[in-house]
Amino acid sequence: MSKPEKLRLDPDRIDVRLLIRQAQAGDKKAFEELVIIYQDKVYTLSYYLTGNHSDAQDLAQEVFLKAYSSLRSFRLEADLGTWLHRITVNTWSNMRRGRNQVLSLDDPLQTEDGEMERPLADGDPTSDPAVALEEKEVQVMVQHAIRSLPEEYRAVLVLREMEGYTYEEIAGIMGCSLGTVKSRLNRARRALKEKILRPVDHCQRG
């Protein structure tokens, strides 16, 4: 699947609920417009979870296929973006159980973990090559650390730190209690910090 075209519709200027009702009634054009509105939102979370563009594209495609087949069960008073993210997390979880994923080091995941400094973005082409290489290595290290987290820890960390959901919203998306969300998030942060600092400490001692 190729990455969706960067067509955008502003949900603030469009009656999303009307589009949902039309799509629920079988209007494929209305659903296509919903895909255009929410494709970036779904793809971004998919990329954070999978860590590479190819898997993210596959995941996003599967999410919209599932959304189309189950859209009639969607309640209009709910938020469609949150509903799509719930499908994304559940689909990703099922995909992980169904096959072994290949770690890609070509697409570094840029993230912030809440307690540690945000990893640097790719260096400017005019910057010092040594600095750019170091930044790339940091990004790869963070990606390794996030991808090595247990499934439930990675999901809650991504939803909180990258997507900005509240604890209550995460509990709804993942179908667990508020206490479970807080516990998993704390453990995820500690584990991520340890995984990143451990090789740094080893290099300093070496």
The closest alpha carbon to 119, from 44, 57, 56, 200, belongs to 200
pLDDT digits (tens, 9 = 90+) for 149-176: 888 899 999 999 889 999 999 999 999 9
What are the sequence ranges of the domains in the chain?
A: 11-107, 111-206
CATH architecture type of domain 11-107? Orthogonal Bundle (1.10)
pLDDT mean over 69-97: 94
Contact 165, 159 (CB under 8 A): yes
Q: What is the pLDDT of residue 9?
A: 56
Lowest mean pLDDT among 51-55, 60-64, 106-110, 173-177: 106-110
- The CA distance from 7 to 131, in Å, is 35
pLDDT digits (tens, 9 = 90+) for 27-44: 999 999 999 999 999 999
> Higher model confidence: residue 101 or residue 64?
64
Q: What is the pLDDT of residue 151?
A: 87
SS3 content of the chain, % helix, strand, coil (to 5): 65, 0, 35
pLDDT mean over 7-12: 55
> Higher model confidence: residue 140 or residue 148?
148
pLDDT mean over 85-100: 86
- The CA distance from 101 to 122, in Å, is 25
- The CA distance from 79 to 164, in Å, is 15
- The CA distance from 44 to 56, in Å, is 8
The CATH number for 111-206, chosen from 3.40.50.620, 1.10.10.10, 3.30.70.20, 1.10.1740.10, is 1.10.10.10
116 pLDDT above the threshold of 50: no
